Structure 1
Amino acid sequence: MMSILVVDDERNITELLKDILEDEGYDVDVAYSLKEAKEKIKSNVFDVALIDVWLPDGEGLDLIPFIKKQIPKTKIVMISGHANIPVAVKALKEGAFDFLEKPISIDSLLSTVERAYRELKKDIEYKFLKEKEFKDIEIIGESEPIQNLKKQIEKVAKTNAWVMILGENGTGKELVAKSI
């Protein structure tokens, strides 16, 4: 079940969003300030965070880097009744997934949350496939030349330099390239 955090100081809007999302089967938690949101983020993992731009103790935009540091996979959707283009652009540049303007239609809310969920699933699948791809790549051997090769691979992998791998057919050039 997908977990969602709704952060908005307008309690009636927060409760309405919570009710709508819970009716759709999502696990929803709420916060009414930056401070309360930070506490919940420290102790819970959320898949999506719906955050009002203006909160009583600061800007909701300040939560974006905090969330990205605590739970990088979380999709952040900023919401505002006083939306303007510069604020929306800033939110997206900071790492927000989307920006919704109040009053929020149920269709746009659910559509955005569903898109965030699909994107989250894609991210997880991509990470899994990447890990699986590199898990299958292993240069075996404990001899001194193999150890030297592994050290060279490790050294080169940390750079953005172009590398030319030379060797006869069947010597593992492709394996070395994938390791880098």
Structure 2
Amino acid sequence: MKVLIIDDELDICYLLSGILKQQHYSTRYVTSLSDAEIALKNDPPSIIFLDNHLPDGLGIDFIQFIKSRYPVSKIIMITAHDSPAEHRKAYAEGVDVFIPKPFTKEKIYSAINEITA
């Protein structure tokens, strides 16, 4: 299963990639929404890990773009901005799972199990 990580923090990209590769997922990462558009067009993934605060915009505003063009891709939002309002907006936009940072390996596996079950 292919996974795309969209996060501007390289250490998060490396950490998530490592966690996911332990479960035999194929991972790629990008650090901006503009790079995410290209990555999605070239090779749509099954799962997308999406940060909210990126250098060229908010991930939460990118959810509808993903859902309208890649409806089978599941979105897991990961963000340090973990307010009830952020949760509501993310789910209203179509996110499948919301995980606050910092996260654990168990939370990542749980989120994947939830969307692939």
TM over 0.5: yes
Instruction: Look up the match of 2:10.
Output: 11
Q: Distance in 2 between matches of 1:51 and 1:44?
A: 16
The correspondence of residues 22-171 of structure 1 with structure 2, limited to 5 A, is 22-118=21-117
Deviations 1:96-115 (A, max 9, x none): 00100001111011110122
Please list the CA deviations of residues 122-145 of structure 1 after superposition, one character each: whole Å capped at 9, or x if unmatched: xxxxxxxxxxxxxxxxxxxxxxxx
1:62 positional shift:
2.0
Kindly provide the amino acid, as one letter, of the partner of residue 110 in structure 1. Y
Q: TM-score, normalised by structure 2?
A: 0.96
Shift of 1:36: 0.6
Residue 137 of structure 1 corresponds to none
Deviation at 1:46, TM superposition (A): 1.0
Distance 1:8 1:71 in 2: 19
Amino acid of the residue matched to residue 47 of structure 2? V
Partner Cα separation in structure 2 for residue 17 and residue 76 of structure 1: 14
CA distance in 2, matches of 1:74, 1:10: 22
User: Counting helix residues as a fraction of each chain, which structure ranks higher?
Assistant: 1
Q: Which amino acid aligns with 2:110?
A: S
Greater strand share, 1 or 2?
Answer: 2
Segments of 5+ residues of structure 2 without an aligned counterpart are none
CA distance in 2, matches of 1:6, 1:114: 17
Identical-pair percentage: 34
Matches of 2:69 and 2:51 in 1, distance apart? 19
> Could you say which structure has the greater relative contact order, defined with CA pairs below 8 angstroms and 6 or more residues apart?
2
Question: Which ranges in structure 1 are unaligned for 5 or more consecutive residues?
Answer: 119-180
Report which of the two structures shows the higher radius of gyration computed on alpha carbons: 1
8 Å Cα contact 1:49/1:74 also seen in 2: yes
Deviation digits for residues 66-103 of structure 1 (CA, Å, limit 9, x no counterpart): 11122101111111112111111101011000100001
How many residues get paired? 117
Runs of 4+ more than 6 Å apart: none
TM-score, normalising length: structure 1: 0.63
CA distance in 1, matches of 2:114, 2:45: 15
1:132-161 CA-to-partner distances (Å, cap 9, x unmatched) read xxxxxxxxxxxxxxxxxxxxxxxxxxxxxx
